[in-house]
Amino acid sequence: MNPAAETRTVQARRAVLQMPEYHPPLAGRDALRLDFNENTFAPSPKVMEQIAAITSEELTKYPEREPVERVVAAHFGLEPNQILLTNGVDEAIHLIAVAFLEEGDEALVWTPSFFMYDVSIALMTSGGLKKVQSDETLQFPFERFLAGINERTKLIIVASPNNPTGAVVERQKLLHIAEAAPLAVLMVDEAYYHFHGETTLMDVPQVPNLLVTRTFSKAYGLANLRVGMVAGDARLIGFLRKVSSPYNVNGVALACLPAALADEAYVQWYVEQIRIGRARMMAGLDELQVPYFPSEANFVLMRIGAKHAELVTAMRAQGVLLRDRSADPGCDGYVRITIGVEAQVTEGLRALGVSLKQIDWQPHVPAQDEAAMIAKGREYE
Ligand SMILES: Cc1ncc(COP(=O)(O)O)c(C=O)c1O
């Protein structure tokens, strides 16, 4: 095509041309899925009963979200106008960015964290995405984060527990941030809430600029149905409702959600499996001498070093999928493993033992010890 003709073709907004893209490696996942932090087992059997009861006629109707929002609000002790159901938390992030950000605004995020924040923020503001990076501890940089707030800050997003690290941010610190930025929306992403237990959901009625997101993709095992929620002040939720499609959550998800929420015993069982499995995984990594970041989520971030890609390939050959996080800021050499139910953790650890041997992985010797070893070596010279 000649350049003159090219200028006459339809072009997307500049922000769309410039925004980053998220392409998770979804192909070829017919293996043990320890790569995406999903529930690796199943949702409650009550959910499957709901799916079996859906009639073909029901599939012809547009879905009605409000009755289920009333059920969800009651479950969490909130008013229905304080809740919006969304097509996963991914859509919640998108709606929040669309509703609150415009050119010239800034949005503050902690990095490394979930990449969809970058995508939705960059769609709305060119150059408005401000990232505060963890130091090598990968913990939340609270003081530096607070210092990043200014009069242009309109949106702040913090995931706790965070992905990909599993690090958490104490409730008091989150409330402090909300107070420090009264003209900004603070979105606390509690996608992995169940595996930790601390929440800011009950602060919603008192904190007018707080939005809390929860997904049903993780502990509840409904990732394929695409359903999440935002809780917050009725005014803020009203703005989000205004920009969302009335049919954003499909009827199968809406039919299943009340059953999933009501079966608390099932969720408790699954969460317990993860907590026990996580402790086993961390103990197993200690035994294998693999350093890792202590996690409060349903995954553990391991520090493999230069052989990170080789490990992922070797594990795939063993039938176990991992997620290489090396491209994340400050995560070079890090690989993430999802915690599943008991037998899956056993299999993950077995495959890790075999794969580390196959790639001839050696534990990294920390710098201090390195210096001590060199000094010791000199003694024998
Ligand atoms: C921190 C965080 N938030 C949100 C999501 C997306 O959740 P959903 O499946 O509800 O879109 C993920 C998915 O991995 C996540 O890690």
Confidence category of residue 369, pLDDT binned at 50, 70, 90: low
Euclidean distance between CA atoms 28 and 79, whole angstroms = 42
Task: Tell me, yes or no, whether 7 lies in a domain.
Answer: no
Confidence category of residue 381, pLDDT binned at 50, 70, 90: very low
CATH number at residue 159: 3.40.640.10
Domain boundary among 230, 263, 296: 263
Q: What sign for the dihedral angle of Cα 51, 263, 274, 117?
A: positive
Claim to verify: residue 306 and residue 163 sit in the same structural domain: no
Q: How far away, in angstroms, is 80 Cα from ligand 1 center?
A: 23
Domain boundary among 263, 288, 319: 263
Confidence category of residue 303, pLDDT binned at 50, 70, 90: very high
Task: Tell me, yes or no, whether 119 lies in a domain.
Answer: yes
Q: From the CA of 86, give the closest atom in ligand 1.
A: 10
Task: Tell me, yes or no, whether 370 lies in a domain.
Answer: no
Q: Which residue among 116, 168, 225, 257 has the greatest number of ligand 1 atoms within 8 angstroms of its CB, and so is best to mutate?
A: 116
Q: How far away, in angstroms, is 149 Cα from ligand 1 center?
A: 25
Checking if the pLDDT of 321 tops 50, the result is yes
Domain boundary among 204, 229, 263: 263
Q: How far away, in angstroms, is 82 Cα from ligand 1 center?
A: 21
Confidence category of residue 380, pLDDT binned at 50, 70, 90: very low
Beta carbons within 8 Å of 234's beta carbon, 6+ residues apart: 79, 81, 82
Claim to verify: residue 221 and residue 316 sit in the same structural domain: no
Q: Which residue among 87, 217, 296, 323 has the greatest number of ligand 1 atoms within 8 angstroms of its CB, and so is best to mutate?
A: 217
The pLDDT of 264-284, averaged and rounded, is 98
Ligand 1 contact via 215 beta carbon (within 6 Å): yes
Claim to verify: residue 81 and residue 219 sit in the same structural domain: yes
CB atoms within 10 A of CB 318: 18
Provide the token pair at 191.
Answer: 């996608």
Specify the residue with its C-alpha closest to ligand 1, atom 5: 89
Q: Which residue among 114, 168, 249, 328 has the greatest number of ligand 1 atoms within 8 angstroms of its CB, and so is best to mutate?
A: 114
Among 45, 84, 52, smallest CA distance to 249 is for: 84
> Residue 189 in contact with residue 158, Cβ under 8 Å?
yes
Claim to verify: residue 198 and residue 143 sit in the same structural domain: yes
Range of the structural domain that residue 87 is part of: 46-263
Task: Tell me, yes or no, whether 250 lies in a domain.
Answer: yes
Provide the token pair at 246.
Answer: 């009335």
Checking if the pLDDT of 40 tops 60, the result is yes
**If you count them, how many residues does the chain have?**
381
How large a percentage of the chain has pLDDT more than 90? 89
Claim to verify: residue 289 and residue 170 sit in the same structural domain: no
Claim to verify: residue 183 and residue 283 sit in the same structural domain: no
Task: Tell me, yes or no, whether 372 lies in a domain.
Answer: no
Ligand 1 contact via 191 beta carbon (within 6 Å): yes
Among 296, 37, 31, 305, smallest CA distance to 167 is for: 296
Among 115, 105, 150, 113, smallest CA distance to 132 is for: 113
Q: Which pLDDT score is estimated for 364?
A: 75
Q: From the CA of 192, give the closest atom in ligand 1.
A: 1
Q: Which residues pair with 129 in a beta bridge?
A: 107
Ligand 1 contact via 157 beta carbon (within 6 Å): no
Q: From the CA of 91, give the closest atom in ligand 1.
A: 11
The pLDDT of 272-301, averaged and rounded, is 97
The per-residue pLDDT for range 206-237, each reduced to its tens digit, is 999 999 999 999 999 999 999 999 999 999 99
Checking if the pLDDT of 245 tops 60, the result is yes
Claim to verify: residue 221 and residue 296 sit in the same structural domain: no
Ligand 1 contact via 223 beta carbon (within 6 Å): yes
The pLDDT of 53-82, averaged and rounded, is 98
Q: Which pLDDT score is estimated for 379?
A: 36
Label residue 95 exposed, middle or buried (CB < 10 Å: 0-12, 13-18, 19+): buried
Q: Which pLDDT score is estimated for 368?
A: 59
**Would you tell me the crossing angle of helices 116-124 and 88-100 to the nearest 10 degrees?**
30
Q: How far away, in angstroms, is 310 Cα from ligand 1 center?
A: 27
> Residue 308 in contact with residue 333, Cβ under 8 Å?
yes
Task: Tell me, yes or no, whether 8 lies in a domain.
Answer: no
Q: How far away, in angstroms, is 216 Cα from ligand 1 center?
A: 9
Claim to verify: residue 255 and residue 269 sit in the same structural domain: no
Task: Tell me, yes or no, whether 302 lies in a domain.
Answer: yes
Confidence category of residue 24, pLDDT binned at 50, 70, 90: confident
Task: Tell me, yes or no, whether 341 lies in a domain.
Answer: yes
Q: How far away, in angstroms, is 215 Cα from ligand 1 center?
A: 7
Claim to verify: residue 191 and residue 146 sit in the same structural domain: yes
Q: Which pLDDT score is estimated for 366?
A: 65
Q: Which pLDDT score is estimated for 27?
A: 84
Q: Which pLDDT score is estimated for 219?
A: 97
Domain count, the chain: 2
Q: Which pLDDT score is estimated for 28?
A: 84
Among 159, 155, 278, smallest CA distance to 214 is for: 159
Checking if the pLDDT of 376 tops 50, the result is no
The per-residue pLDDT for range 140-163, each reduced to its tens digit, is 999 999 999 999 999 999 999 999
Q: Which pLDDT score is estimated for 76?
A: 97
The pLDDT of 23-37, averaged and rounded, is 91
Q: How far away, in angstroms, is 35 Cα from ligand 1 center?
A: 13
Q: Which pLDDT score is estimated for 374?
A: 44
Claim to verify: residue 18 and residue 140 sit in the same structural domain: no
Mean pLDDT of the chain: 94
Confidence category of residue 88, pLDDT binned at 50, 70, 90: very high
Q: Which residues pair with 186 in a beta bridge?
A: 156, 210
CATH number at residue 333: 3.90.1150.10
Among 236, 187, 251, 240, smallest CA distance to 215 is for: 187
Claim to verify: residue 216 and residue 284 sit in the same structural domain: no
Claim to verify: residue 225 and residue 341 sit in the same structural domain: no
Radius of gyration of the chain (CA): 23
